[in-house]
Copies of this chain bind each other. A is one copy, B any other.
Amino acid sequence: MRLFNKVAIVGTGLIGGSIALAIKKKRLAGEVIGVSRHKKSLLLAKKKGAIDRGSQEIDIIKGADLLILATPPSTIIDLAPKISQIIGKGCIVTDVASTKEELVSSLSKIFPNYVGSHPLAGSEKRGIINADPEIFKNSLCILTPIKNTTEKAFKKVNLLWRQLGAKTVLLSPKSHDKILSFTSHLPHSIAFSLINSMPLSYLKFASTGLKDTTRIASSDSELWTDIFLSNQKNMLKTIGLFQDALSRIKSAIQKKDKKQLTLMLKKAKNKRDRLGDYCH
């Protein structure tokens, strides 16, 4: 089913590349255009059949009826004014950034047909080399329409994600950033801190527990710096709540308070056991 004539994807990395591959595979667009700072990324995207044409020059997006911004948040903010002078006013625009409040506020003023997206389908891997058209299958994609979002933008972007295999759910940008600061950004900040606090020579004794708790510490450093800063207020709050929870466990260990410690660990186990129910 062809949904678009010309889809332009700015940022042909893991997510942008995976969307491109899935659109091509499902024949959802007449052509898919890629833009990247990296020539190698474009060459590989072309070779993998993710894009029909690619360029390091942004002008190639001219005439697109869908534009997907798939770079880190700060790059999106930087590029948006220039992009708005190239694409037509009817062009539907979305992004795939992990924070929404700042971006939606800015992009909805610049693009008349914009709606924010956040597919919960990344991984610690990066680059077109790891792109996979199947990563959105059974994943959750959060859409963040606001009062002035056009029905046309919302309907088409919603349909796109469903065609890529995702379940879509709506949240306000504010709720999105609050929730994601807990479910995604906090675990990342903890994984980075955990591995940073570990003596290098001890790594050879790592068991699966350490490997799993720190897997996401291999995530892209610049992208996550961007995400943390773009969700600053929520991050400070959620890190604070986690610090309190850890302090309570530390204090029970200090006091050798077996009863209280068992209670906290049981509460954690019961909650974590419920996570198995949510499979995206």
Contact = CB atoms under 8 A, between A and B. Distances in A.
A170 interface: no
A206 interface: yes
A29 to B, nearest CB: 27
A198 B274 CA distance: 12
Interface magnitude class on chain A: 35 or more
A194 B205 contact: no
A221 to B, nearest CB: 4
Max chain B C-beta neighbours (<10 A), residue from A122, A197, A250, A275: A197
A123 B208 contact: yes
A265 B225 contact: yes
Interface stretch (A20-28, A43-51, A57-65, A209-217): A209-217
A192 B273 contact: no
Interface in A178-220: 179-180, 182-184, 186-200, 202-220
B239 A250 contact: yes
Given A140-B205, A213-B212, A261-B228, A187 B183 contact: no
Interface stretch (A9-17, A76-84, A158-166, A251-259): A251-259
Contacts of A191: 209, 213, 268, 272
6 contacts: A179-B202, A183-B202, A187-B213, A191-B213, A203-B278, A217-B269
Given A207-B183, A256-B229, A194 B269 contact: no
